[in-house]
Each structure stands twice: as structure tokens, then as C-alpha cells.
Structure 1
Amino acid sequence: MRQDGRLSRLLHVLLHMDGQEKPVTSEMIGRMLNTNATLVRRTMAGLREAGYVTSEKGHGGGWTLVRPLTAITLLDVYRALGKPELFAFGLSEDMPSCLVERAVNQAISETRQEAETLLLERFGQISLADIAKDFGTRSKAKAFIHNQ
């Protein structure tokens, strides 16, 4: 089953961008994500349109966060990506007149909708600052272990 890693990758980028003194270029982000700069620009455009980042062209240009991490949630980034599919499984529509197929599709559809609602609600409760805090805690724990 193919997974869409754009949300995870974009969150990763935004957390790295936080606190940068200079704009981060599409080329730098592309190297970080092992992808090309054109794809980075296309993906970051949704965040720019939503007002989370800004971009400057030319020498010394690049991407900059314009909101603090506390003001950006997972839901915000998910929406800026264009609300990609959350679940990869689909419905069977080989025999639309079959009552069994209809019952199965109904059960799957209702359950998937309930799960999406819960997941998006939770996404709205988690800010990028929450993730950064978790990263900070992990970093301190790792440093503590290495210093033993």
C-alpha cells in the first residue's frame, strides 16, 4: 500500500526552519528531503498561500516562517497540502446492485468518516511547538545518555 509522506516531510521542514537566521532555499530543503527544488517550491506554495511561510526570490532569498510554531497545527499544514487522503483503502464497486457490497461499503464509509473526523480533530490540537518540545526532550535525553 502506497503511503503519502508529504505531511510528515513538510512538518520536518517547518521544524528545521524555525529559528533560522536566514531564509532556507528550495535547494537546501530538496537536499534535506532527497527531492528536487521544483517539487519543494510547489509543495511550499500551499503554505505560502495559507500565510505560514513567505518566500523571497534571488540571491539571499528562500523560505521563511512567518508564524510562530505555536500558531501552526498539524491540521493547518494538512489543509495547506490540499487535504490529501488520510486512508489508502477504498470501496469495491464491482457489483453496485449487490446488497452485500452495498452493506460492506456503507460500513467502511461510515467507519472511515468517523476515523477521519477524530484524526482531524486531534491534528487541530497539536501545534508544531508541541512537536518541537517533544524533539527538545528527546534531544536532552540523548545528550544525557551520551554523557554518562
Structure 2
Amino acid sequence: MLHMLLHMGQADEPLTSEVLARSMGTNPAVFRRTMAGLREAGHVVSGKGHGGGWRLARPLSEITLLSVYEALGCPTLFAIGNRSDNPGCLVQKNVNAALADTMKQAEALFLARFGEVTLDTLMPSCRVPLAVHGDGPGEDPAT
């Protein structure tokens, strides 16, 4: 989603769900469901009909990584973590205990840093058209 928000920050006009979803390799319905949290957080707005689409509701300088993370429902930051396959296993209990504290500390560091980084600082120095992903605005999907 960060990728899409940055492209939206460079767009001169609203971008449709179809265009954005294609560039992400997903379908428009999945894309719209994901964007719902960003809309509720006030980061994006959408319009229907001719000339409609998605656009930023505020400047990238006012959107932090933390606010995007929260708007997306605070997804799990790490793929590793506690296991509960064998709750009676002492090895599993010891590993879970060691991981729990370490992961909690790591998550706190991530979230603190996320709150410091605004999306404008992630923007490339030159304009990058969405068309570089294929089927972007101005690109013929048949070619």
C-alpha cells in the first residue's frame, strides 16, 4: 500500500481501482477493501463515476508509516513468533518465552520509528509513472 500511496502522491488526477489493482497484481475488489482503512483514517478519498478514482486526502508529509500501519489494521510485523502446536512441550514453552520478550521489544522499536517516517521522505527524487508497472495510465494494455 505504501507503493500505491507514493504513486498517488505523484498523480495529477485520481487513479481508478482498476489501474491501481492491476499495478499491484490483484483485483479491484481486494484493492478497494484494503483501501477502506486508509479512507477511514483520512489518508485517501475516492470518487465514483467519470473522472472518479482514488487520490490522497492529505499531503504525504502528513502521513506516517505508523498511521498507514494502523489504518491497515496493525498487521503482524514478523513472520516468526510463538507456536502453539504442542502446548505441553517444554521446548516450545521455553522458545515462546524467549521470543515473546524479544519480539515485543523489536515491535516497539519498529513502531517508534514508523511514527518518525513520513511518506514524503520515501518519494524518489524524480517522477515515476505508474505505467512502469504495466497497464498504468496512458499505457495501452493490449501492447
Same fold (TM over 0.5): yes
Give 1:76's aligned residue.
67
Residue 45 in structure 1 maps to residue 54 in structure 2? no
Q: Which runs of 4+ in 1 moved over 6 A?
A: none
When structure 1 is superposed on structure 2, of 13-22 and 43-52 the one drifting more is: 13-22
Give 1:146's aligned residue.
none
Give 1:25's aligned residue.
16
Give 2:56's aligned residue.
65
Two-structure CA RMSD over aligned residues (Å):
1.9
1:1-148 mapped onto 2 (5 Å cutoff): 10-132=1-123, 135-136=124-125
- Return the structure number with greater relative CO, CA threshold 8 A, min gap 6: 2
**3-state DSSP class of the match of 1:124?**
helix
Aligned partner letter, 1:93:
S
**Going by fraction, where is helix more abundant, 1 or 2?**
1
Cα separation, 1, equivalents of 2:44 and 2:81: 34
Tell me the TM-score normalized by structure 1.
0.79
Tell me the TM-score normalized by structure 2.
0.81
- The answer on whether the counterparts of 2:81 and 2:103 sit within 8 Å (CA) in structure 1 is no
Ranges in structure 2 where 5+ consecutive residues have no aligned partner: 129-143
* CA positional deviation for 1:114: 0.4
Ranges in structure 1 where 5+ consecutive residues have no aligned partner: 1-9, 140-148
Cα separation, 1, equivalents of 2:100 and 2:60: 34
* CA positional deviation for 1:101: 3.2
Aligned-pair identity in percent equals 54
